[in-house]
Each structure stands twice: as structure tokens, then as C-alpha cells.
Amino acid sequence: MNPELIRHVEEWITNDPDEGDRSTLRQLLDEGNEDELNRRFASHLSFGTAGLRGPVMAGPAGMNRYTVRRATQGVVAWLQEIGVEPSRGVVVGRDARHGSEKFNDEVVAVLLGAGVTVHEMPRPLPTPLVAYGVKALRAGAGIMITASHNPPRDNGYKLFGPDGRQIIAPNDAIVERYARDAGTPVLGDRSSKLHHVVAEKVLDAYREHFVGRFRVAGGSGLRITYTPLHGVGGEIMTALFEGAGFRSVAVVERQFAPDGRFPTLPFPNPEEPGALDLAMSRASETSSSLVIANDPDADRLGVAVRDDGGWRTLRGDEIGWLLASALLEGMTDERDVVATTIVSSTMLEEMAKSANVRFVATLTGFKWISRAAGDGVLRFGYEEALGFAVDPLVGDKDGMSAALAICHLAHELSRQGKSLLDRLDEIERRFGVHAGGQLSLRAEGPTGAVAIRGVVERLRADPPSKLGGLAVSEFVDLAKGWNGLSPTDGVLFQLGSLGRVVVRPSGTEPKLKAYMEIKARPDEAVPLSQHRAVAAAQLGAVRDDLAMLLQP
């Protein structure tokens, strides 16, 4: 066995605080299982989308107590470097995934031992409440133990800065540098005077704000079916529904209690095919017209609507258009801003222009969307991956407040004898059909990242001249920056005025993703259904070409 690998494993075992993990690694050493040890030690989990995310396992490539301990030491050193007083404290929260409780405990112990005030959430709660809590408590940072919508084997560590937003460069690199050099920390415990449990009145203030904003006067007869997909959104979301006047809410009992095994779902992600099947079945039983789903940490929103006796799951872009159609009406201040990313639909830009509201396009991820307004106020931001921010109270995406907003719109439309689908028709008749879709290549294992990089480099070196028969009018290497955006890994193909394609590695999963949009301009002489059929066929042709180009 490689002597250098043995040295690394022995060093890790010496410092790992978890007896079970030490035993696992010792057994792998004794068995001479070099392949498995390489899987765990060939790379380190690194700060990607505002934190760490990976499989729960021993070793630097996994989420474990030692990884969390080192990351938290990195946070302490980072806060000191940027001049945040330890007395401001760190808000600490967790979801209900496997390992979340012990990782949460590790964070609390390291912070207290370093003399940092801790504001700990009283129980497993949604990620948006940690982002909200940082601002509400004027804390110096927020740490959330969650892997969001990742598979059951994963967990993660999400970091918010003093502004309640996900951290960005260079802060992520600073935290990681300190984490790599971390030694043995002093550990504190919850008997410390520095430890505080976040009071229920803080959580109540969140509820009161959004209930007040989206309350339906006199209550609503809208029938809704809700599922938290085995996550932590159920308790808060049902209270929000009741407070806002949505009293005909059925829940999916089999998915309501938090359960890190996610027994009814291979991937607890509302975007995944089949993820809403149980909810739609329950909705049919209860004569609901609307299905609402949160992902396991409730920062994303999935929506399905009744359509000709069946169910139609809305794309993230479509939910974004619907929310924008309601929220743009109230934006009258010149400081108001709406934003979405370069992989989302271009529809929001056209809607904002029509409403005389400033629009900003950002790089992929809410860490960029949340900062899009600059000195202005972000009134609405969304990403096609079911992330929505409908109110500046929370500095990150929030699937719960977005759920109230979409239900409020559905209620108002129902009073006019209309549905969310009718509103989508109105939007596309006015601004044109914007057909969208995705392709993804999952690449697991230690060679996965290499395969993904290889595909992107091949596209850079030899970009196609046509996609789906449409000429590529412009090729953009996003690694060189574009339209004032910072460099990022990915490429963009502009298809004239008819659409565009962006290909980039995922920031949260071992995937290469392609985002496609095909547009048809409004034309009252042509039925909307015909426009949609033509756009869908063109989108299919583009997808077919991409499927061949993305093969590793």
C-alpha cells in the first residue's frame, strides 16, 4: 500500500474525534483496502456553494465530525480576520438528515470553546430560518447543517456571512485555508454563558411577517395538498398556511414527519421525476387544485397544478414567471430590483422591462442573486432550480414564503374564475413562448470530476456551429467572464434571437448540466398551442444534439 496514503490515514485517525470513524479507517488499513481509502483520501471536501456537501463517511472526502470540527475552526479564524466580534455570535441550525445532530453538536462545541457566542436553533428547522436569524439577531454568521435536496447518504455545512447571505469569494477560500491548517480545538459545552437557544419569539416574528404579507382576508377555499418530502418544513409551513387563511390544506402523511432516510424517495428533490407522485395522488383524493412541496430543508419550492383532470408539474422558470407577475405590480421604488441567473429563462428580464423595474442577471446560485441589487433592494429573485426569494427579510432563497406567495396568487386568480395555468397563458401571449429544459450527466466516483472537466474543455476547444439545426451566433467561454459577470466554469451558446444554451458543472452534485431555452415571439395570429408545439420540437432537436456532445 502507498506509504504516503498510510501516513495520511494514520494522521487522520489520530485526530478524528469519532470512535466509529476511527474504527472504520483502522479496519480499512488492516484489510489493505487501498481503493476504498483512496476514495476517502484522494481529495478533500472543499467549499463550493457556500459550504461543504458530500457523503457521510470517515475521511477528508466525507462529511464527518472531524471535517465539521475543522470547518468550524476555519469559520472562527475567518470571523476574526474580517473583524467580526465574537460577541455578535453565530446562529447554528440543522435539518433532520443522518448525522445532522452530531455535526450540529460539534459546531456548537467548537464555537463555545473559542469564546464565540452561539445562538442555537431550538430543534431541527428549515435553512431559511438560519439566514433570517442572522439578520434578526444581528449575528456575525450562520451555520446550517444540511445537504438540502441531495441523496440520503449526503450531508453538508452551509455558511452565511454577517449579512445573512451565503458567503462568496474570497471568504470561502479564507475559511478553507484556516480549516486545512486547523489543530486540536478547545471544546465548550452548553452550560457556557455564551450559549443561547433562539427564542420562539424570533421564529414567531418570521411567521407574523409573512402571514401579514400574504394573508387572505376572510380565509380561502383554495384546496391545497402539501408535502415537506420527509424534511423539516412541515411544522412551520402548516402554521403559515393556517395563519394566512389557507384552511383547506391536506398533507401527505407518509412524507410529513422528518426522516433522514427519505423512505419514499430515491432523491428528495421536487425537481426529480416522480418526487411529487404521492402528493398528486393525495391531491386527487382530496380534490385539491394545487400541490405545494418543499425540499428537505425547505429552501426550495415545487408546485403542481390540476390540468384537464391530471396534474402538471411546473418548471422553476414557470413558477418564477408566476411570482413575478404578482410581485412586479407592487414595485414602484427606483431602488427595487428583480434578478435571476444566466441559466434561467430570459422571460423575467422582459417582464421587468415592461414594468419599468430594474433587472439584473447573475451567475448561477443564490449567493449571487442575493447580492444582485447592490445598493438597491432585491424585491424578487429566483433560479430555475426551484429557488425563490419573495421578500428582503430573508437574505437567501426561501421555499416557505414563496409557497405562501404562490398560494396567494392562486387564490386571487380563483376569485376571477382563473387558474395559475391561465396566468401562464397570459404571460406567454404577451411576452412570447419561452420553452426550457435541462440535460445532466452524473459522474460519480473519484474520476467523475475529471470526466466533467473533460467535456467542458472539449466544448471550449471545439464548440459546435449549430445546435438542433440553429446556428450558434455567439460562443462565450464563461471562464473569461461575460457581460460584467465574474469568471465561472462553463460555456454559453447563443442561438440568435431564438434561444441559448449554457453548459456548466453543478455546484452541489457530481453533475454536468446543460440549460436550454427556445423562444417564439408573440403573434396573435398564431394559436399559443401551435407556438408551444413548434418551440418544444425545436427544444427536442437541441437536446438531441447536446446529448451527443456531452458524452464523456
Q: Look up 287 and say whether it is catalytic.
A: no
Determine the Cα–Cα distance for residues 291 and 289; give it in Å rounded to an integer. Answer: 7
Strand, helix or coil for residue 424: helix
**Do residues 122 and 394 lie in contact, with contact meaning Cβ atoms separated by under 8 Å?**
no
Q: Which of 43, 46, 148, 281 is catalytic?
A: 148
Phi, psi of 340 (to 5 degrees): -150, 180
Grid cell locating 425: 397563458
DSSP three-state, residue 8: helix
Task: Tell me the residue ranges of DSSP E strands in 73-131.
Answer: 90-94, 118-120
CA distances 383 to 114, 320, 389, Å, are 37, 8, 9
End-to-end, the C-alpha distance of the chain in Å comes to 30
Cβ atoms of 160 and 278 within 8 Å: the answer is: no
Q: Which amino acid is at 144?
A: M
Number of helical H runs and strand E runs in the chain = 17, 22
**Residue matched to cell numbers 435541462:** 438
Q: Which residue has the cell 500500500?
A: 1
Closest by CA to 104, choosing from 88, 129, 125, is: 125
Q: How far is C-alpha 347 from the chain's CA centre? A: 21
**Omega prior to 170 cis, within 30 of 0:** yes
172 and 53 Cβ atoms separated by less than 8 Å:
no
Distance in angstroms (rounded) separating the CA atoms of residues 512 and 506: 6
Which sequence positions are flagged as catalytic?
A: 148
